[in-house]
Chain A
Amino acid sequence: MNTAFPFPLSGRSVPFSLGRLGIVAGNTFLEAVRQKLFNFLLLLAVALVASAQLFREFNFGSSELKFISDFGFGAMVFFGSTLTIAATAQLFFSEIENRTALTILAKPIWRTEFIFGKFLGVFAVVGVFCALTTMLMLALLYHRETSLMTANPDAFESGRIIHYGDLVLMGVLQWLKFGVLAAITLLIASFSNTNLYTVVMGFFVLVICHLQYLARDAYGSVASLPLRLLVQLLGYVFPNFQVFNLADQIGIGEGIDAAVFLRVAGYALIYIAVIGGLAVYSFRNREI
C-alpha cells in the first residue's frame, strides 16, 4: 500500500458539508428501498388506490370521481403515515443497534449531517411513495373521467372537471406533511432507547397533530385562562395536520389558491427546520 497517499487530510478544518449529508441520505434511501416493509406498504397502497376502480359501477358522475380522489388520498395518508413513522424509526435504530453509527460518527462527519442525512433519506423514500400513489390516482381518475364523459356527455358540457394540477399539489402537501412527521419521529428517536417506543410515540403524536384542532375549538374560547393558554401552547408545539387537508378545496371544484398552498408549504418547512434542529441538538448530546 502506498505510504505517501496523495491527499492531505491532516490540518484541514471540517466545515458542514451538503455533500456528506447527501451521502448519508443516499445510503439511507438505498437501505429503505431494499427493506421489505417499504415494498410491502407501497404495494398495499398501490393496490388500495387501484381498488378505487371497483367503485365505477356507482356511476355517480362527478361524485364518483370525488369519491375515488378521497379514497386514494385516504390510502396515501394512512400508508404514508405508517411508512414514515416505521421507516424513520427503523432506519435510525438500525444504525444504533447494528453499531454502524459508531463507524460513521468515528469519521470526520458532523452529527448534524448525520441526522439531516437520515431525514432527507426518509423524505426521499416518502417522496417516491407519494409520487407513485399520486400518479396512479391521476391515471385512474383520468381513465374514469374519460369513460364518464363518453357515457354521460351532458354532465361534462364544459369539459373535464378534475383539476389534475391541483391533485399533484395535494400530493406535494401530503409529502410535506410526512416530512414533518418524519422530523417528529426522528426527534423522538434521537433521545429514545428503543425502536418500539419511537414508533408508539410517533403514532401518538400523529394522532395529536390530527386532532389538536378539536381541542383548540373546544377550549379556545370557553375554558379558563390557564387551560386556554395551555391549549394554545400545544397548538404551537404540535403542528396542526388538518391544514394539509385541502381535499375539499382542490381536485374537483373551485381549485386551490396559490397563496394557500405556499402558506401551508411554508408552515411545513418551518416545522421541519425547527423540529429537525431540536433532533440535532438532542442527538449531539446522546452518548452512542
Chain B
Amino acid sequence: MTAPNPAPAIEITGLTKDFALNLRGIKLRAVENLTLNVPQGEVFGLLGPNGSGKSTTIKIILGLLDPTVGECKVFGVPSGRVDSRLNVGYLPEAPYFYRYLSGEELVRFYGRICGVPKKVLKDRVREVIDWVGLTGASHRRVGTYSKGMLQRIGLAQALVHDPRLIILDEPTAGVDPVGSAEISELILKLKKQGKTVLITSHLLAQIEDICDRVAILDKGKLIVEGAVNDLVGLRDRQSLIVDSLPPAELDELRGWLAARGHVLNAVEQPRTRLDQLFLSKVSRPKKEGDSK
C-alpha cells in the first residue's frame, strides 16, 4: 500500500468563477475568492441556498470547470488534471444513469472506466452493490429503480474504485426519510473507513448529525466555516433534563439558582425529532432492493 498523502483532500485557494452570460461580456460571478481546506478523513458539509455556488465549486473540484482565478487541488494535484480524479468518487444531484443497463452492468461500466483491474472487478462490483444494499436488485434494469435505489446505485458507482474522497451532491434530494437515514448511515460507515466525504444538502438536520465541519456559502462567498459543534453549540448555556417538576418545586429551583446568581432561562418539554419519530414508526424495506 502507498503511504498516506499528507496533503489535504481538498485545497481551494482564492477561487473565483465567472460565467459569461452573453457576447457583450456580461458575466455572472458564481464563486468569489473562496479559500477552503478539507482535511483527510473528515465529513465536510458544503451548505448554502440555491445559486450560492456549491455545485460550481464541486464541478471545479472534479475538473469539470476551470476556475477563472485561483486554484483547486485534490490530494495535492491540481483539479484540472485527469489524475486528480483517481481518488475521487462522485454522486451527482438527482442522478440519472443509463436506463438500459442493469445495476451490476452500470457499476461494472464505471469500474472499467476507472481502471479497476479485470481480475478483481467482478468481486468488487458485487461488494459495493452489497454494501449499498442492492444485491437483490442488481440484475434489474436501472430504469426500473426508485429514487432511493438510484441514489444507492449512484453511491456504488462512486465507490467502485475505492476512492479516498467521495463527493455527494444532494444525496438525499427526493429520497424519503427512510432512504435518507440509510444514506446517512452509509456516509458514517465511510467515515469509519477513513474516507473523506464532501456533502451538500438542504437537510440541515442530517448535515448536523453526520458532518464534522461545515462551510456556508451565500452568493458565491464563504460566510461561515468551522466545526459543527463550535458553530451550533451555545458555550455559555447548559441544559439540565429532569423529570417533570411540580410548579412549587420549580419555583424553589428558580430561587435556589437566583441565590447563586444564575437565571433559569427556559423551562421546556424535551421533544423527539420528527424524523426520528418517523423512522421509529415506519418499517424499513428489506436491504436487498426495495420495491419501486
Within 8 A of B (CB), among A6-27: 6-14, 17, 19-20, 23-24, 27
Contact B128 A8, beta carbon cutoff 8 Å: no
* CB of B145 within 8 Å of the partner chain: no
Between A and B, 29 residue pairs with Cβ closer than 8 Å are A1-B127, A5-B124, A7-B116, A7-B162, A9-B86, A9-B115, A9-B161, A9-B162, A10-B2, A10-B5, A11-B2, A12-B83, A17-B115, A19-B112, A20-B115, A24-B113, A99-B92, A99-B94, A99-B96, A100-B97, A100-B98, A102-B92, A103-B90, A103-B92, A107-B85, A107-B114, A108-B114, A110-B82, A287-B19
Contact A287 B88, beta carbon cutoff 8 Å: no
Which one of B66, B88, B96 contacts A106 once the chains associate, using CB atoms below 8 Å?
B88
Cβ proximity bits B69-84 to A, threshold 8 Å, 1 near / 0 not: 0000001000000110
CB of B131 to closest CB in A, whole Å: 5
- Which of B57-65, B234-242, B263-271, B276-284 lies at the binding interface? B57-65
In the complex formed, the residue of A with least CB distance to B121 is A7
Within 8 A of A (CB), among B206-220: none
Name the A residues within 8 Å of B115 (CB-CB).
Answer: 9, 12, 17, 20, 108
Count of inter-chain pairs, beta carbons less than 8 A: 112
Query: Contacts A10-B164, A14-B83, A103-B157 hold; do A2 and B98 have CB atoms under 8 A apart?
Result: no
Interface size class of B (residues with CB under 8 A): 35 or more
* CB of A30 within 8 Å of the partner chain: yes
CB of B86 to closest CB in A, whole Å: 5
In the complex formed, the residue of B with least CB distance to A97 is B96
CB of B127 to closest CB in A, whole Å: 6
* CB of B193 within 8 Å of the partner chain: yes
Which one of A4, A8, A20, A103 contacts B95 once the chains associate, using CB atoms below 8 Å?
A103
Name the A residues within 8 Å of B167 (CB-CB).
Answer: 106
Name the B residues within 8 Å of A13 (CB-CB).
Answer: 83
Please report the C-alpha to C-alpha distance between residue A4 and residue B96 in the assembled complex, in whole angstroms: 30
CB of A38 to closest CB in B, whole Å: 13
* CB of A41 within 8 Å of the partner chain: no
Which DSSP category, helix, strand, loop or mixed, fits chain B's interface?
A: loop
Please report the C-alpha to C-alpha distance between residue A42 and residue B282 in the assembled complex, in whole angstroms: 51
Cβ proximity bits B111-140 to A, threshold 8 Å, 1 near / 0 not: 011111100100010011001000000000
Contact B75 A34, beta carbon cutoff 8 Å: no
Name the B residues within 8 Å of A31 (CB-CB).
Answer: 98, 100
Contact A34 B100, beta carbon cutoff 8 Å: yes
Please report the C-alpha to C-alpha distance between residue A110 and residue B154 in the assembled complex, in whole angstroms: 21
Query: Contacts A99-B92, A99-B95 hold; do A106 and B62 have CB atoms under 8 A apart?
Result: yes
Contact A23 B112, beta carbon cutoff 8 Å: yes
Query: Contacts A3-B194, A288-B59 hold; do A100 and B113 have CB atoms under 8 A apart?
Result: no
* CB of A274 within 8 Å of the partner chain: no
Contact A3 B193, beta carbon cutoff 8 Å: yes
* CB of B1 within 8 Å of the partner chain: yes
Name the B residues within 8 Å of A7 (CB-CB).
Answer: 116-117, 120, 161-162
Name the B residues within 8 Å of A99 (CB-CB).
Answer: 92, 94-96
Name the B residues within 8 Å of A20 (CB-CB).
Answer: 112-113, 115
Contact A105 B64, beta carbon cutoff 8 Å: yes
Name the A residues within 8 Å of B64 (CB-CB).
Answer: 102, 105-106, 287-288
Name the A residues within 8 Å of B159 (CB-CB).
Answer: 1
Contact B82 A109, beta carbon cutoff 8 Å: yes
* CB of B144 within 8 Å of the partner chain: no
In the complex formed, the residue of B with least CB distance to A20 is B113
Cβ proximity bits A260-288 to B, threshold 8 Å, 1 near / 0 not: 00000000000000000000000000011
Closest CB pairs A-B (n = 6)? A5-B162, A106-B90, A98-B96, A14-B82, A106-B62, A1-B131
In the complex formed, the residue of B with least CB distance to A8 is B2
* CB of A104 within 8 Å of the partner chain: yes
Contact A100 B83, beta carbon cutoff 8 Å: no
Please report the C-alpha to C-alpha distance between residue A80 and residue B97 in the assembled complex, in whole angstroms: 28
Please report the C-alpha to C-alpha distance between residue A110 and residue B1 in the assembled complex, in whole angstroms: 26
Name the B residues within 8 Å of A24 (CB-CB).
Answer: 113
Name the A residues within 8 Å of B95 (CB-CB).
Answer: 99, 103
Name the A residues within 8 Å of B116 (CB-CB).
Answer: 7
Contact B109 A23, beta carbon cutoff 8 Å: yes
Name the A residues within 8 Å of B101 (CB-CB).
Answer: 30
Query: Contacts A14-B86, A103-B97 hold; do A109 and B113 have CB atoms under 8 A apart?
Result: yes
Contact B83 A108, beta carbon cutoff 8 Å: yes
Please report the C-alpha to C-alpha distance between residue A276 and residue B83 in the assembled complex, in whole angstroms: 24
CB of A121 to closest CB in B, whole Å: 13
Name the B residues within 8 Å of A108 (CB-CB).
Answer: 82-83, 85-86, 113-115
